[in-house]
């Protein structure tokens, strides 16, 4: 267990923040460098797998690492995750082929699966509730900083050094984060023997692999949701999850204790973040495509529209951190999540005349609403379960969030592509031969006749309006789910007195 009184709280916080930021920054830096990497490694056919295998590994290992932290100590497992991320960075940085790069990204993904949830758990063990509420309220928005720095850092490394340092730069940063946390954090070493539910872990990994491989194949292999391969994978995942329940019922130390799903807060928040990420992130993830093809913004300009989202999310997240120990969190969530509904409705009205100001206002509104999630969900989960289950509980909720985001981006991406293709094909007789298929796959080319280009942009607008309408429905569903949260003010759990007893330090 973490000995909060013996921790250097400042060092723990700094070490965790450095670890989180370097993991998040890696994502945006790699995305910026990918065109150069693909060109050097001749790996266009495997382009989509670079992100896909990272997400698969992260999602599959998230609950496993959370449970291992509950069994064997947060510090030990967290530092192992940092080590895995560094190891993956080394493999990726030394890659001379796409398969080697994918191996590195997979190892990085495993490490990333433990960094965020375990950081929240360690903070929960280190800081009292009131301080933690304020700290965690700021961590969510801070994670947007890599979105700003990533393109600049990635572009500089590619232009002035080489793309290998996109990965290798993680080594000193990761070592710094691990050293600071290692010095600042104290944790007891349990003497009792603890068993690992290997059967449950293996079954869970296979079930998640089957579930998440389906959207990855759709994105990267052009399969449809009605494909026998996709249907087979989804059916297999259902069978494996049913088997997992049976295994967990009999396990001495179940990987995911089934009693967690008797906890109203865990169930409601898991369902809420799944539905919200499925619809909201799935709906707006492709917005840069609209901004570039319809609004005429540059890739950089469309990416920096996220600043408007941050402008709304950051102050509200901090405010929620102050209010969540004074006001019922259901009330805070109900008031907040009216705003994403308004934001999604505004997005359903986008067209060829939509201005940048309109989008900025819309993103600010949505950011204000999402600030409650950044500022409150981790705290609510941690304070709703016993301390020995906080790692797996938090990982389970974040697992549902990750699954919702992964599936949502794939499903909405496929729907958007189909809507665009349908709209553009109606104009095929007005377009040069072969242009319709090109537009449907890659956007509006330069040099197109202005009158025809206007019609294509209208087709794009209609496609996005349909996508945002579906996203609006999911936002409403998420708002309904919020009403099932407990109507209580967040208060600190009573801790067993035995935890204050001295023990050997690690």
Ranking 10-24, 332-346, 393-407, 426-440 by mean pLDDT, the lowest is: 426-440
Average pLDDT taken over every residue of the chain: 79
**Percentage of the chain exceeding pLDDT 90:** 14
pLDDT of 44 reads: 62
* Residue 72 scores a pLDDT above 90: no
What Cα–Cα distance (Å) separates residue 244 from each residue in 57, 215, 269, 415, 494?
A: 19, 22, 21, 32, 32
**Percentage of the chain exceeding pLDDT 70:** 83
* Residue 188 per-residue DSSP state: B
Give SS3 for 263. coil
Adjacent-strand bridge partners of 188: 505
pLDDT of 502 reads: 41
What is the rounded (10 degree) CA torsion for 80, 82, 86, 87? 20
What Cα–Cα distance (Å) separates residue 343 from each residue in 138, 166, 287, 350?
A: 23, 35, 13, 11
pLDDT of 117 reads: 79
User: Which pair of structure tokens corresponds to residue 208?
Assistant: 């998640």
Q: Which residues contact 497 (CB under 8 A, 6 or more apart)?
A: none
SS (H, E, C) 312-323: HHHHHHHHHHHH
* Closest to 60 (Cα-Cα) out of 399, 359, 391, 330: 399
pLDDT of 455 reads: 80
pLDDT of 445 reads: 65
Question: Between 334 and 253, where is the model more confident?
Answer: 334
What does the DSSP assignment read for 202-244? HHHHHHHHHHHHHHHHHHHH---TTSHHHHHHHHHHHHHHHHH
* Residue 211 scores a pLDDT above 70: yes
Q: pLDDT by residue (tens digit) across 430-473?
A: 666 666 666 655 566 666 667 777 887 888 888 889 989 999 99
pLDDT band at 26 (very low <50, low <70, confident <90, very high): confident
pLDDT of 447 reads: 65
Q: pLDDT by residue (tens digit) across 387-404?
A: 777 777 877 888 888 888
Q: Compute the average pLDDT of residues 260-288.
A: 85
pLDDT of 124 reads: 75
pLDDT of 446 reads: 67
pLDDT band at 483 (very low <50, low <70, confident <90, very high): very high
Question: Between 206 and 50, where is the model more confident?
Answer: 206
Ranking 120-129, 176-185, 263-272, 351-360 by mean pLDDT, the lowest is: 120-129
Ranking 142-146, 201-205, 302-306, 472-476 by mean pLDDT, the lowest is: 142-146
pLDDT of 440 reads: 58
């Amino acid at each position: 267990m973490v000995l909060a009184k013996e921790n250097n709280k400042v060092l723990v916080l700094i070490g965790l923040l450095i670890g989180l930021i370097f993991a998040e920054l890696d994502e945006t830096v790699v995305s910026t460098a990918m065109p150069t990497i693909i060109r050097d490694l001749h790996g266009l056919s495997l382009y989509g797998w670079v992100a896909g295998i990272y997400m698969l590994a992260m999602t599959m290992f998230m609950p496993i690492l959370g449970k291992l932290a509950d069994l064997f100590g947060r510090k030990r497992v967290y530092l192992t995750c940092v080590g895995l991320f560094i190891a993956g960075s080394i493999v990726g940085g030394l890659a001379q082929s796409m398969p080697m790069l994918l191996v590195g990204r997979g190892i990085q993904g495993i490490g990333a699966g433990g960094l965020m949830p375990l950081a929240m758990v360690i903070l929960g063990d280190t800081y009292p509730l009131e301080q933690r509420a304020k700290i965690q309220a700021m961590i969510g928005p801070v994670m947007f900083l890599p979105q700003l720095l990533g393109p600049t850092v990635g572009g500089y490394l590619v232009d002035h050094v080489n793309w290998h340092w996109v990965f290798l730069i993680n080594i000193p940063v990761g070592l710094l984060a691990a050293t600071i946390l290692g010095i600042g954090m104290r944790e007891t070493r349990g003497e009792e023997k603890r068993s690992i539910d290997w059967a449950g872990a293996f079954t869970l990994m296979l079930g998640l692999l089957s579930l998440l491989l389906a959207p990855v194949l759709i994105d990267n292999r052009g399969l449809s949701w009605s494909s026998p391969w996709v249907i087979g994978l989804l059916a297999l995942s259902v069978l494996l999850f049913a088997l997992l329940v049976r295994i967990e019922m009999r396990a001495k130390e179940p990987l995911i204790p089934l009693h967690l799903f008797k906890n109203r807060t865990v169930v409601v928040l898991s369902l809420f973040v799944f539905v919200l990420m499925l619809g909201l992130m799935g709906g707006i993830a492709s917005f840069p495509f609209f901004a570039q093809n319809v609004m005429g913004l540059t890739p950089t300009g469309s990416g920096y529209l996220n600043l408007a989202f941050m402008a709304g999310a950051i102050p509200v997240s901090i405010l929620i951190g102050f209010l969540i120990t004074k006001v019922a969190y259901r009330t805070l969530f109900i008031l907040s999540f009216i705003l994403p509904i308004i934001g999604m409705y505004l997005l359903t009205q986008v067209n060829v005349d939509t201005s940048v100001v309109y989008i900025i206002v819309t993103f600010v509104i949505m950011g204000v609403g999402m600030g409650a999630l950044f500022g409150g969900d981790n705290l609510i989960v941690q304070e709703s379960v016993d301390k020995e289950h906080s790692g797996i509980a938090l990982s389970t909720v974040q697992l549902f969030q990750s699954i919702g985001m992964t599936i949502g981006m794939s499903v909405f991406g496929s729907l958007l592509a189909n809507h665009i293709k349908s709209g553009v094909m109606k104009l095929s007789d007005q377009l040069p031969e072969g242009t319709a298929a090109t537009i449907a796959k890659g956007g509006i080319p330069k040099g197109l006749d202005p009158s025809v280009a206007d019609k294509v942009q209208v087709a794009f607008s209609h496609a996005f309006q349909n996508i945002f309408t579906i996203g609006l429905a999911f936002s409403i569903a998420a708002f309904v789910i919020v009403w099932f949260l407990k109507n209580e003010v967040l208060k600190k759990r009573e801790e067993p007195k035995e935890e204050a007893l001295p023990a050997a330090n690690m």
